[in-house]
Amino acid sequence: MAPHLLLVLDILFFLTGLSDTQRVSTVSHVSVKRGGSITIPCLYNQRYRNDVKYWCRGYYWLGCSTVVRTDHQKTSRKTSISDDINQRVFTVTMTSLSPSDSDYYWCIVERKSKADDGVILQISVPPGTPELYVDQQQMTGVVGGSVTVLCYYSSQGSSGRWCRMGGPCVAVGHYGALDGTFVKLVQEESRTSNGYVLMVTMSGLMMENTGWYWCEKGDIQMPVHITVNQPTTTQSTTTITPSVTNRDNVVTNENTDEKHQSLLEVLFIPLSLLVVLIAVTLVTLKLLRKHKDKKAKDQPPNTTVQPADPENDITYSTVSHTRGTAKQDLNPERHGDLYSTVIPMQHRTAQRAAEPDGGLQHSGPTPEIQ
């Protein structure tokens, strides 16, 4: 069939779909890493909940080739499809992508007795770095907390935006709210890749924020799904960020930092006590040593006392008495004199050697004992 005839038929189907004001919406153009995967969300109207959805490849709607359908086998080689009727979105996931997968695709709703409704998008798989990509397409946060998404792009170009699928957008340099949640966008040069990074932070999360969003740079978008849960005893309302390796490519998960911080706090107390104990012990030993040295310095020098030699220290004396009466007055002026001769040991020894019997010689009679 001629391309121009297919285009006319596509326009007719499009106008038929507009008659019921029912539309399917999705991103317009995504760029994917070689060997990577991509999940494409296709949002549809409430009236399409029970209809069959399918994924079709090809530029022209009537000539596109159906890849997967929700009413048949939901996987085909490396492509799968699923339908969430509560969120009114069906998703298509393609894995192990290669440059040969670069093409136009369609999100289509098959309607009974009416023309199908669908929307076209383009998927590019460049051999090098994609023009716009994220490390994670699935992010999780808790009510009252926040979540940060890092969107990488190869050239600065136009300002980036963060959009809610089927809803409003917030541009770089502006602060805004999406469904009551505060959104902040920071755009700067990346330190780990040859390009730039768009940092999107959503704070004050609510359950209503669960859904699909996308980063936008020029005519390229990258869809990201955010799931908001109720906080539990093991969760905190802190920022949930992707685990990467520096400021723009390494943002550590804060829940892990809190565990490390708690461990450091537990170890800090005993280590501090140990340091204090060691310091007190060293000061005490120093004071004791100083006191001991001072005491030794103040003590007088040791005086050695030679033991007494019993032979050298013995002296002998010759005592002479002047006989008198028992009632004699002992006053030396009135009566006789009392003489005492002290002979040192060495002289006495010489004297003993001179005496024939070696005995002791007393001068004078032995006094009577009254």
The two structure tokens encoding residue 282: 């060293």
What span, in angstroms and rounded, lies between the C-alpha atoms of 306 and 262?
73
Output 70 or 293, whichever has higher pLDDT: 70
53 neighbors 107 (Cβ within 8 angstroms): yes
What HEC string does 36-68 produce? Answer: CCEEEEEECCHHHCCCEEEEEECCCCCCCEEEE
The two structure tokens encoding residue 284: 């005490």
**How high is the pLDDT of residue 283?**
82
Amino acid (1-letter code) at residue 130: P
What would the DSSP string read from start to end of 57-125? ESSSTTT-EEEEESSS-SEETTEEEEEETTTTEEEEEE-S--GGG-EEEEEEEE-TTS--EEEEEEEE-
223 neighbors 165 (Cβ within 8 angstroms): yes
Contacts of 189 (CB under 8 A, 6+ apart): 195, 196, 197
Please give the share of the chain, as a percent, with pLDDT higher than 70.
Answer: 63
- Confidence class of residue 178 from pLDDT cuts 50, 70 and 90? confident
pLDDT, tens digit (0-9, with 9 covering 90-100), for 118-132: 999 999 999 888 989
pLDDT, tens digit (0-9, with 9 covering 90-100), for 68-118: 999 988 888 899 999 999 999 999 999 999 999 999 999 999 998 888 999
**Residue 311 clears pLDDT 70, i.e. is over it:** no
Please give the share of the chain, as a percent, with pLDDT higher than 90.
Answer: 41
Residue with tokens 């997967």: 68
**How high is the pLDDT of residue 50?**
92
Amino acid (1-letter code) at residue 276: V
Output 293 or 9, whichever has higher pLDDT: 293
Sheet with 103-110, strands from edge to edge, namely: 29-31, 117-124, 103-110, 52-57, 65-69
**Residue 369 clears pLDDT 90, i.e. is over it:** no
**Residue 354 clears pLDDT 90, i.e. is over it:** no
**How high is the pLDDT of residue 360?**
43
**Residue 327 clears pLDDT 90, i.e. is over it:** no
CA Rg value for the chain: 56
Contacts of 131 (CB under 8 A, 6+ apart): 31, 124, 153, 154, 155, 217, 218, 220
**Residue 235 clears pLDDT 80, i.e. is over it:** no
Output 272 or 199, whichever has higher pLDDT: 199
The residue-averaged pLDDT of 251-260 equals 43
**How high is the pLDDT of residue 137?**
95
What span, in angstroms and rounded, lies between the C-alpha atoms of 222 and 30?
6
Stretch (H or E) spanning 268: helix 254-298
pLDDT, tens digit (0-9, with 9 covering 90-100), for 195-229: 889 999 999 999 999 999 999 988 899 999 999 99
Within 13 A of 45's CA, how many CA atoms are on the CB side? Answer: 16
The residue-averaged pLDDT of 275-304 equals 75
**Residue 182 clears pLDDT 60, i.e. is over it:** yes
**Is the pTM for the entire model greater than 0.75?**
no
> Considering only 252-256, 271-275, 282-286, 361-365, which range has the smallest mean pLDDT?
252-256
- Confidence class of residue 49 from pLDDT cuts 50, 70 and 90? very high
- Confidence class of residue 193 from pLDDT cuts 50, 70 and 90? low
**How high is the pLDDT of residue 286?**
83
Phi and psi dihedrals of 3, rounded to 5? -60, -40
Residue with tokens 């060691």: 278
**How high is the pLDDT of residue 209?**
94
pLDDT, tens digit (0-9, with 9 covering 90-100), for 5-34: 434 444 444 444 444 445 899 999 999 999
Average pLDDT value over all residues in the chain: 74
The per-residue b/e assignment along 81-98, b for 16 or more CB within 10 angstroms, e otherwise, is bebeeeebbbbbbbeebe
Three-class secondary structure of residue 240 per DSSP: strand
What span, in angstroms and rounded, lies between the C-alpha atoms of 84 and 229?
18
**How high is the pLDDT of residue 157?**
67
